[in-house]
Chains A and B, each alone.
Chain A
Amino acid sequence: MLKFPIYLDNHATTPVDPRVLDAMLPYFKEKFGNAASRNHPYGWEAEEAVSMAREQCANLIHADPKEIVFTSGSTESNNLAIKGAAEMYKEKGKHIITANTEHKAVLDPCKHLEALGFDVTYLPVDKMGRVSAEQFAEAVRPDTILASLMFANNEVGTIHPIAEIGKICKEKNIIFHTDATQATGKVPVDVQSMGIDLLSVSAHKMYGPKGAGFLYVRRKGPRVRIAPIFDGGGHERGMRSGTLNVPGVAGLGKACEICKNEMSKDRAHALALRKIMHDRFFNELDFISLNGHPEHRLPGNFNVSFAYVEGEALMMGIKEIAVSSGSACTSASLEPSHVLRAMGVGEDAVHTSIRYGIGRFNTVEEVTYAANKTIEAVRRLREMSPLYEMVKDGVDLASVKWTSH
Chain B
Amino acid sequence: MAYSDKVIDHYNNPRNVGSFKKEDDEVGTGVVGAPECGDVMKLQIKVDDTTGVITDAKFKTFGCGSAIASSSLATEWVKGKTLDEAMQITNTAIVEELALPPIKIHCSVLAEDAIKAAIDDYKKKKASVGAHSSADGTDSKS
Residues of chain A having any CB pair with chain B under 8 Å: 308-310, 312-313, 316-317, 327-330, 334, 336, 346-348, 351, 383-389, 397, 402-405
Instruction: Give a binary string over B1-18; 1 marks a CB under 8 Å from any A CB, 0 the rest.
Output: 101000010010010010
| 20 new A-B contacts at CB < 8 Å, known A316-B65, A405-B113 | A310-B62, A310-B67, A312-B64, A313-B11, A313-B65, A313-B68, A316-B8, A317-B11, A351-B38, A384-B14, A386-B40, A389-B19, A397-B35, A402-B36, A403-B32, A403-B113, A404-B33, A404-B37, A405-B109, A405-B110
Asked if B35 and A351 sit within 8 Å, CB to CB, the answer is: yes
Query: Which 3 A-B pairs give the minimum distances between C-beta atoms?
Result: A347-B36, A402-B34, A386-B42
Residues of chain B having any CB pair with chain A under 8 Å: 1, 3, 8, 11, 14, 17, 19, 31-42, 59-65, 67-68, 103, 106, 109-110, 113
By beta carbon, the residue of chain B nearest A388 is B62
Identify A387's interface contact among B32, B37, B40, B106, CB under 8 A: B40
Chain A CB within 10 A, most for which of B1, B19, B35, B103: B35
Give bound CA distance, A284 to B31, whole Å: 29
Provide the residues of chain A in CB contact with B11, threshold 8 Å.
313, 316-317
A313 to chain B, nearest CB (A): 5
Provide the residues of chain A in CB contact with B113, threshold 8 Å.
403, 405
Chain B CB within 10 A, most for which of A316, A328, A346, A387: A316
Provide the residues of chain B in CB contact with A386, threshold 8 Å.
31, 40-42, 60-62
Provide the residues of chain B in CB contact with A310, threshold 8 Å.
38-39, 62-64, 67
Provide the residues of chain A in CB contact with B42, threshold 8 Å.
386, 389
By beta carbon, the residue of chain A nearest B31 is A386
Provide the residues of chain B in CB contact with A336, threshold 8 Å.
38
By beta carbon, the residue of chain B nearest A384 is B17
Provide the residues of chain A in CB contact with B68, threshold 8 Å.
313, 384
Provide the residues of chain B in CB contact with A312, threshold 8 Å.
1, 64-65
B55 to chain A, nearest CB (A): 21
A55 to chain B, nearest CB (A): 44
B23 to chain A, nearest CB (A): 13
By beta carbon, the residue of chain B nearest A325 is B64
Asked if A384 and B34 sit within 8 Å, CB to CB, the answer is: no
Provide the residues of chain A in CB contact with B31, threshold 8 Å.
386, 403
Known contacts being A308-B62, A330-B1, is A383 close to B17, with CB within 8 Å?
yes
7 contacts between A and B (CB under 8 A): A309-B62, A310-B67, A313-B63, A330-B1, A384-B61, A387-B40, A389-B42
B61 to chain A, nearest CB (A): 6
Give bound CA distance, A405 to B33, whole Å: 6
Asked if B64 and A329 sit within 8 Å, CB to CB, the answer is: yes
By beta carbon, the residue of chain A nearest B63 is A310
Provide the residues of chain A in CB contact with B36, threshold 8 Å.
346-348, 351, 402, 404
Asked if A385 and B64 sit within 8 Å, CB to CB, the answer is: no
Give bound CA distance, A389 to B17, whole Å: 12
Provide the residues of chain B in CB contact with A330, threshold 8 Å.
1
Chain A CB within 10 A, most for which of B19, B34, B67, B110: B34
By beta carbon, the residue of chain B nearest A346 is B36
Asked if A387 and B17 sit within 8 Å, CB to CB, the answer is: no
Give bound CA distance, A404 to B103, whole Å: 17
Provide the residues of chain A in CB contact with B103, threshold 8 Å.
334
Provide the residues of chain A in CB contact with B62, threshold 8 Å.
308-310, 385-388
By beta carbon, the residue of chain A nearest B61 is A384
Give bound CA distance, A313 to B33, whole Å: 16
By beta carbon, the residue of chain A nearest B7 is A316
Give bound CA distance, A404 to B31, whole Å: 11
A37 to chain B, nearest CB (A): 47
Provide the residues of chain A in CB contact with B32, threshold 8 Å.
403, 405
A321 to chain B, nearest CB (A): 15
Give bound CA distance, A347 to B38, whole Å: 8
A386 to chain B, nearest CB (A): 4
Known contacts being A313-B65, A316-B11, is A389 close to B60, with CB within 8 Å?
yes
Provide the residues of chain B in CB contact with A309, threshold 8 Å.
62
Chain B CB within 10 A, most for which of A309, A310, A402: A310
Asked if A347 and B35 sit within 8 Å, CB to CB, the answer is: yes
Provide the residues of chain B in CB contact with A385, threshold 8 Å.
60-62
By beta carbon, the residue of chain B nearest A327 is B38
Asked if A403 and B35 sit within 8 Å, CB to CB, the answer is: no
Give bound CA distance, A40 to B37, whole Å: 63
Give bound CA distance, A402 to B61, whole Å: 14
Give bound CA distance, A316 to B11, whole Å: 9
A189 to chain B, nearest CB (A): 35
